[in-house]
Structure 1
Amino acid sequence: MFELSLDLVLMLVAAAFAAGFVDSIAGGGGLITVPALLLAGLPPAQALATNKVQGVFGAATAALSYARRGLVDLRQQKTEAVVAFVAGLCGALMVSWIPTKALSYGLPVVLIGIAVFFALKPGLDDTDRVRRISPAVFTATFVPAIAFYDGLLGPGTGAFFMLGFVMLAGYGILKATAHTKLLNFASNLGGLVAFAVVAKPLWLLGGAMAIAQIAGALLGARLAMRIGARVIKPLLVITSTALALRLIWQLL
């Protein structure tokens, strides 16, 4: 039986604050909270479910923060959010049917590729570029693919959404970050609905961590809006690389 001591709760709350800060800027907050929950003694499925509880609050806070500054119109993302929710729900329900282990082998390569892209590609800043596909095609193809992956596996979802908004939608770095958050929230929420049925998340612990996530997300979003690509790009490179190295370590 998992028991919550005060020092464990404080450790997990601190991890959630750091995750909210990082996730609101570049994604990858699960890189901090999931290992912390596993280290605290939660079974893997319950750790993932509890992580979804607190993660939805951080993503929602970041989305609202960017929206208040006029960087994203959340009402215009309603369709994308519904698609992301349904795809995230389906992905989580398919966990036991799809060989996620096989997907894990290629994931570090993809994440390192994303890190290299954002680190070395010239001209990536907060300036918008030419859109390569229409909003309808983006919503019908890219959004459900990444959201399904979020429900199924999860690591690097924020980086994948960022890459899509930059490369396909033609957004600048800060605008892409802002548009990522509602979709991250929706796919997280879909995954949480599925996990709540089968994995029994620790709701009180997730709630305590959610408060810290909100505080971290507010601080991170404020910093990102003040500095823009100069802080988002390096942090995205660092989190993608760190996540890839962690996955490689797990596989070995």
Structure 2
Amino acid sequence: MTIEIVLLCIVSFFAGFIDSIVGGGGLLQTPAMLIILPQYPIATLFGTTKIPSISGTSFAAFRYSRHVRINVRLLAFIITAAFCGAILGAYCISIIDSSAIKPVILALLVATGIYTYSKKNFGLHEEKNHSALRQVITGLIFGFVIGFYDGLIGPGTGTFLILAFISFLGYDFLHSSAYAKYVNVATNLAAIIYFAGTNHILYQFAIPMAIFNLAGSFLGTRLALLRGNRFIRIFFLVVVFGTILRFAYDVFFKG
């Protein structure tokens, strides 16, 4: 069991680092759990990953809040919608075949990667021309949808949130990353409530992983705040490419 904890802690550190910048830490953490602890049910492994995820994400949200101005009212609406969506997604994991959703996600990711790469100014400047009401309605919709996805599947949630804040609300990468962390905390908390209530969390793995995830988050947020939007954009593209590879494998090669 010791070697399993060591390996998972190493993975969790890098997951926290990646997740704190552009999301997508679950792309490392979730597959590692499935490979290293294959004897446990998938729901239990998913539930266990939420503890380290929320620790690193909470720290990143705190760090960003000290440097980025947050629209608390708008964020509260989005967090509420994402929380409800995540609860529903966690419940539906046992009754919905997630493999049916993955081809749609793959197509969306490919389009996202192409658009972000070709549009050099995408996410580099704030361009908010929406009314307050439109921002709330838009945030409620994508908050619920992405929250549902996080509860159901999980990996890449932070990346999708950043994309949504840029595409639908016009925020730059730095502000989008900050907002995404708060929403991701809510979706992780919702999933933890559900999985803890159904005894699907392995605390002997989750707690040490949480410590290392937090350490990775500390390093990642520091780097993102120092380097700014252009660095985050490049990192975003790298993570999107990695996410495409992951979902392409699931769709075309995984039995």
TM-score, normalised with respect to structure 1: 0.91
Q: Residue in 1 aligned with 2:60? A: 62
Matched, 1:18 2:49: no
Aligned length: 248
What RMSD, in angstroms, separates the aligned Cα atoms of the two structures? 1.8
Report Cα offsets for 1:208-231 as digits up to 9, x if no partner. Answer: 111111111111111111111222
Q: CA deviation at 1:232?
A: 1.1
Q: Residue in 2 aligned with 1:110? A: 108
Amino acid paired to 2:23: G
Q: Provide the identity percentage.
A: 31
Instruction: From 22, 34, 54, give the equivalent of 1:38.
Output: 34
Report Cα offsets for 1:125-154 as digits up to 9, x if no partner. Answer: 542103446222123211111111111112
CA 157–192 in structure 1, closer or farther in 2 if over 3 Å, else same: same
Q: Residue in 1 aligned with 2:143? A: 143
CA 99–153 in structure 1, closer or farther in 2 if over 3 Å, else same: same
1:137 partner SS: helix
The separation in 2 between residues aligned to 1:202 and 1:196, in whole angstroms, is 9
Greater shift, 83-92 or 18-27, is seen at 83-92
Amino acid paired to 1:63: A
Contact 1:88 1:147 in 2 (8 A): yes
Report Cα offsets for 1:143-173 as digits up to 9, x if no partner. Answer: 1111111111122211211111111111111
The separation in 2 between residues aligned to 1:74 and 1:168, in whole angstroms, is 18
Amino acid paired to 2:28: I
Instruction: From 29, 51, 69, give the equivalent of 2:49.
Output: 51
1:37 partner SS: helix
Q: Residue in 2 aligned with 1:88? A: 86
- Counterpart mapping for 1:1-252 below 5 A: 4-5=1-2, 7-42=3-38, 43=40, 44-72=42-70, 77-132=75-130, 134-198=134-198, 200-251=200-251, 252=253
Q: CA deviation at 1:55?
A: 0.6
- List structure 1 segments (4+ residues) > 4 angstroms apart after TM superposition: 73-76
1:168 partner SS: helix
The separation in 1 between residues aligned to 2:158 and 2:5, in whole angstroms, is 26
Q: CA deviation at 1:73?
A: 5.4
Contact 1:161 1:180 in 2 (8 A): yes
Greater shift, 110-119 or 212-221, is seen at 110-119
CA 73–65 in structure 1, closer or farther in 2 if over 3 Å, else same: farther
Q: CA deviation at 1:237?
A: 1.3
The separation in 2 between residues aligned to 1:157 and 1:228, in whole angstroms, is 21
Amino acid paired to 1:160: F
The separation in 2 between residues aligned to 1:249 and 1:222, in whole angstroms, is 32
Contact 1:162 1:177 in 2 (8 A): yes
Greater shift, 166-175 or 36-45, is seen at 36-45
Unmatched 5+ stretches in structure 1: none
Report Cα offsets for 1:22-49 as digits up to 9, x if no partner. Answer: 0010110001111111121243222211
Amino acid paired to 2:105: L
